[in-house]
Amino acid sequence: MTGCKQCGKIHNVGFISTRFAGTDGVTLETNKWAEVFADEGFKAYYLAGEIEHREEISEIKLVRVPHTAVALLWENRNFG
């Protein structure tokens, strides 16, 4: 990984959802944004209950958690 095009540092970006798999709208849009960030030198992290690993992205970190845990994290973040 080379780093950010602006400053040279490695930045992180995280995507959180209950599911990143298949061809639903959230997954497709997340994949588009992940490619944009990767092109700018960001490292992507995914947190979801279901994750379908894409082979063309080699430097990603996947964290699989129960769907209910993702919902609780989101609820506590916004209303907790």
Query: What pLDDT score does 29 carry?
Result: 93
Domain boundaries in the chain?
11-79
Compute the average pLDDT of residues 4-12: 84
Q: Bigger pLDDT: 15 or 4? A: 15
d(CA 6, CA 24): 33
For the whole prediction, is pTM greater than 0.75?
A: no
CA distance 37 to 45: 11
For range 34-63, the mean pLDDT: 74
Under the banding of pLDDT at 50, 70 and 90, the label for residue 47 is confident
- What's the pLDDT at 58? 47
